[in-house]
Amino acid sequence: TPERIPKIGPDDELSDLSRILNRMIDRLQDLIGAQQQFVSDVSHELRTPVAVVKGHMEMLNRWGKDDPEVLADSIQSTLSEVKRMETLINEMLNLTRAEQVPVENVNQITDVDGVVHRTFNDFKMLHPDFILTFDDDLVQPALVNIRQDHLEQIIIILADNAIKYSTDRKEIHFALSKSATRVEIGVQDFGEGIESEDLARVFNRFYRVDRARSREKGGNGLGLSIAERLVKAYGGEITVESALGSGSIFTIRLPLVSEPTSDENSPL
Ligand code: ADP
């Protein structure tokens, strides 16, 4: 524990100051703790792919020159592990950037309907083995102050997960509705679902209910934490309802722009 600022008489103005300073110290300590945790999480995540690459390089070194099968196999496995690390690093950068979105400087008004429909159509094309439905309750466009690529990214994360964690029933349902102040976007699947004790943790960085299964599907436990940070950066919220064995609904709510402005088509 660091040295605290000494307490001064309770009625003294300095006592207020010391309380404020102590609160600042506590907050700084939390921040430092979070940074240390992040470094430790990242190191942990990189350890497995690095070990795999090392193993293959050793094999290559020992037998690769004489055995073309070992050679081909090691190169293939090394390449796929390196690609995994590349994705991980890109996603970590995404996560860091998501925390730094200066909402007040975002002057892009995005038509949510258009973005969700486009993503829906893309997924329909990419996953012809799935039944995709879309329940659109909007009468007028829903305009939100958010960068379009960020909104796309959030919906893609949810839809990707819905596909990844579907089981026999290959069905994904999109829903779009709005209230006076907010727009609500839902992505529902009928797949494996999430146990209640894991629900609160799925938004944590690197958290996976089943590590091996997520890894096998190319996951790294960062998608939902990126989605949550982005949604929060724009003043919204993300929630999940789920039942083990019957599927999940992820819902995001974002504040609507109160009055449509002339920035509507700003290219920023
Ligand atoms: P991942 O890359 O592992 O998919 P995410 O951060 O996107 O990482 O999700 C974290 C974990 O939450 C997943 O590993 C999975 O266990 C669980 N999860 C996310 N979406 C769903 C879903 N639609 N159905 C069931 N489980 C899910």
Residue nearest to atom 25 of ligand 1 (CA): 193
Q: How far is the CA of 208 from the centre of ligand 1 (A)?
A: 6
Q: In terms of Cα–Cα distance, which of 164, 167, 165, 154 is closest to 223?
A: 154
pLDDT tens readout for residues 105-164 = 678 899 999 999 999 999 999 999 999 999 998 888 899 999 999 999 999 999 999 999
Atom of ligand 1 nearest to the CA of 222: 6
Cβ-Cβ contacts under 8 Å for 50 (sequence gap 6 or more): 85
Measure the CA–CA gap between 37 and 70, rounded to whole angstroms. 38
Mean pLDDT in the chain?
88
CB-ligand 1 contact for 220 (6 Å cutoff): yes
ipTM associated with this complex: 0.98
Return the higher-pLDDT residue of 95 and 187.
Answer: 187
Say yes or no: CB of residue 172 within 6 Å of ligand 1. Answer: no
Structure tokens of 7?
């307490």
Residue 268 pLDDT: 47
For ligand 1, whether the C-beta of 45 sits within 6 Å is no
- Interatomic CA distance for residues 167 and 237, integer angstroms: 27
The tens digit of pLDDT for each residue in 5-27 reads 666 556 678 888 889 999 999 99
Calculate how far, in angstroms, residue 55's C-alpha sits from the geometric centre of ligand 1: 29
CA-166 nearest atom, ligand 1: 24
pLDDT digits 0-9 by tens, 198-208: 998 999 988 89
Which residue's CA lies nearest to atom 16 of ligand 1? 209
- pLDDT of the residue at 84: 87
For ligand 1, what atom is nearest to the CA of residue 215?
A: 3
266 Rama sector, left if φ>0, alpha if ψ -120 to 50, beta otherwise: beta
pLDDT at res. 151: 95
pLDDT tens per residue, range 221-244: 999 999 999 999 899 999 999 999
Residue nearest to atom 21 of ligand 1 (CA): 161
Tell me if 219 CB under 6 Å of ligand 1.
yes
Mean pLDDT value across residues 165-180: 95
pLDDT over 80 at 52, yes or no: yes
Q: Is the pLDDT of residue 99 over 80?
A: no
- Predicted confidence band of residue 1 (pLDDT cuts 50, 70, 90): low
Point out the least confidently predicted range of 100-104, 158-162, 184-188: 100-104
- Using alpha carbons, select from 164, 171, 179, 188 the residue that is nearest to residue 243: 188
- What pLDDT sits at residue 3? 67
The pTM assigned to this predicted structure is: 0.81
- For residues 165-179, average pLDDT: 96
Question: What atom of ligand 1 comes closest to residue 209's alpha carbon?
Answer: 16
